[in-house]
Chain A
Amino acid sequence: MGAYRADDDYDYLFKVVLIGDSGVGKSNLLSRFSRNEFSLESKSTIGVEFATRSIHVEDKVVKAQIWDTAGQERYRAITSAYYRGAVGALLVYDVTRHVTFENVERWLKELRDHTDSNIVIMLVGNKADLRHLRAVSTEDAKAFAEKESTFFMETSALESMNVENAFTEVLTQIYRVVSKKALEAGDDPAALPKGQTINVGSKDDVSAVKKVGCCSS
């Protein structure tokens, strides 16, 4: 079981969700980030799956608890329950399938309906390695991201391109929101108890996260 034992020495725990249409590569982005693995033979995700990884942001250890969701509409009722308490989201589309980009707007609405307005969102155009099959231009996606005030990055889970950057950027931005909030509130962010789950939103969401065991320390 040693393989599953995670390093629990962290300063912050952030809950992040991965959403987007079916088959855009969410699970592979997650396995690339959390285990540095990629599989051409991956199965569809049913319901939700989960992984974690800790990174350093400035002098702090930030642990990301990432929920990877099924892309099919039918699972929305199940998966949207996992949006609660999320402080970050990667909204993924496939640069080779335009329809997955068209659906980004629906996903964004879904996300904003279920999460706090301060949530850090990054639009992610995955499969950027398939240059000859590209169907969504970088400019279009960038323009959309600007209009919707989300971050934006193109990635390739296969080539390991920008995956690390995308997650790190989201976690860093969350960290900034959180430390800024803490400063505004007159708290010293470093004085927060170890392992405290940070929520950029309303207080009651903290208990929701607590319920799933993130604050057990």
Chain B
Amino acid sequence: MELEGILASENTSLRCFVWLIVRDGCLQKKLKEKGSATLFKGNYLFVETYLGYAPPNSDRREGVLRRKRLDYLDCVAQYYDIQDIERTDEEINMLRQIAVDCPRTVPDVSFFQQAQVQKSLERILYIWAIRHPASGYVQGINDLATPFLVVFLSEHVEGSIDNWMMSDLPSEKISGIEADCYWCLSKLLDGMQDHYTFAQPGIQRLVFKLKELVRRIDEPVSTHMEEQGLEFLQFAFRWFNCLLIREIPFHLVTRLWDTYLAEGDALPDFLVYIAASFLLTWSDNLLKLDFQEMVMFLQHLPTHNWSHSELEMVLSRAYMWHAMFNSSPSHLAS
């Protein structure tokens, strides 16, 4: 069997074997070409390695992991477990905003309604916000932490997410998972700092690039949207702000995250191609809609019945376009 076939297969021991090869970097390039860090769901070592914060060598890895976790716990003690009187007004506001958003994070998956899950999320987000003062907490970042939480937790709990109980886990396990989530979230956002600073210039840039790319790929849709006065910012802002997590069913999100992690620092660039591919999935529908119908349609895209195959289609088309256009930017010049 091809290595990639094994990676995608259900055969755990084979996957573990291949995982060892992957971890040593032999396959990284290949996987990247394939567009997926697939699919070690639950193998958090893999995610950590891919995010580059845990070194592949296992002795050193243990040390780094321990240090990182302690570092996070220190932050929690120093910034989170304190009285409001010790916080600035701005920090109180930020904590309040996070507390408003945690209960409305992935509200359609009951697991996220557990109080302990929401508390963990609150700590992760608050510590991240405190340590990234240029942006602070921005609504939508709460969504971005959830795939990590699910992947790391799946190491420790059995069965479907609908039956997971956070209270079944000892508190030191939870702290470890929280810390890992925090560092992975930080790593993911490192390359996208200006997506969340004042006026969100990074997102505006991606929205502009998306518009150019769509004009290049699908002229009829582009013209139709323009004639109707539909602005890309009116729908694509949320796409980029939440990395499309809001637009697809939650059970597909780890697959999407696989791709994001495989892209590493090149992610913002690649996101434009994913967004274009996603949008043009409905190319035929869009042509039939007027301004108002398009806004409403794009706000609630009919993806609730999507399975992996629809998402794979979006991603592989994104890869194709990326290969076609990205190395020849003059193709995109108008």
Is B296's CB under 8 angstroms from A4's CB? Answer: yes
Contacts of A46 in B (CB 8 A): 139-140, 237-238, 241-242, 246
User: Given the known A-B contacts A1-B289, A6-B293, are A74 and B196 also in contact in the complex, defined by CB atoms under 8 Å?
Assistant: yes
Contacts of A48 in B (CB 8 A): 234, 237
Is A75's CB under 8 angstroms from B296's CB? Answer: no
Which one of A158-166, A168-176, A206-214 is at the interface? A206-214
- The digit string for B192-233, where 1 denotes a CB below 8 A from any CB of A, is 000010111000000000000000000000000000111101
Chain A CB within 8 A of B78 CB: no
Within 49-102 of A, Cβ neighbours of B (below 8 Å) are at 49-52, 65, 70, 72, 74-75, 77-78, 99
A48–B296 Cα distance when bound, in Å, is 12
Is A72's CB under 8 angstroms from B108's CB? Answer: no
Which one of A36-44, A146-154, A177-185 is at the interface? A36-44
How extensive is the interface on chain A, given as a class?
20 to 34
Chain A CB within 8 A of B268 CB: no
A75–B135 Cα distance when bound, in Å, is 12
Query: How many residues on B have C-beta within 8 angstroms of the other chain's C-beta atoms?
Result: 40
Is A43's CB under 8 angstroms from B292's CB? Answer: no
Instruction: Count A/B pairs, Cβ under 8 Å.
Output: 97
A50–B292 Cα distance when bound, in Å, is 9
A42–B285 Cα distance when bound, in Å, is 26
Chain A CB within 8 A of B97 CB: yes
Within 88-114 of B, Cβ neighbours of A (below 8 Å) are at 96-97, 100-101, 104-105, 107-108
User: Given the known A-B contacts A46-B237, A213-B229, are A23 and B100 also in contact in the complex, defined by CB atoms under 8 Å?
Assistant: yes
Query: Which of these, A23, A52, A65, A74, contacts B200 with CB under 8 Å?
Result: A74
Is B97's CB under 8 angstroms from A22's CB? Answer: yes
A50–B241 Cα distance when bound, in Å, is 18
Is B296's CB under 8 angstroms from A74's CB? Answer: no
Is A74's CB under 8 angstroms from B238's CB? Answer: no
Chain A CB within 8 A of B288 CB: yes
Residues of chain A having any CB pair with chain B under 8 Å: 1, 4-6, 22-23, 40-44, 46-52, 65, 70, 72, 74-75, 77-78, 99, 210-214, 216
- A sample of 5 more A-B contacts (CB under 8 A), given A4-B296, A23-B104, is A4-B297, A6-B293, A42-B107, A75-B139, A78-B233
Residues of chain B having any CB pair with chain A under 8 Å: 96-97, 100-101, 104-105, 107-108, 135-136, 138-140, 142, 196, 198-200, 228-231, 233-234, 237-238, 241-242, 246, 285, 288-293, 295-297, 299
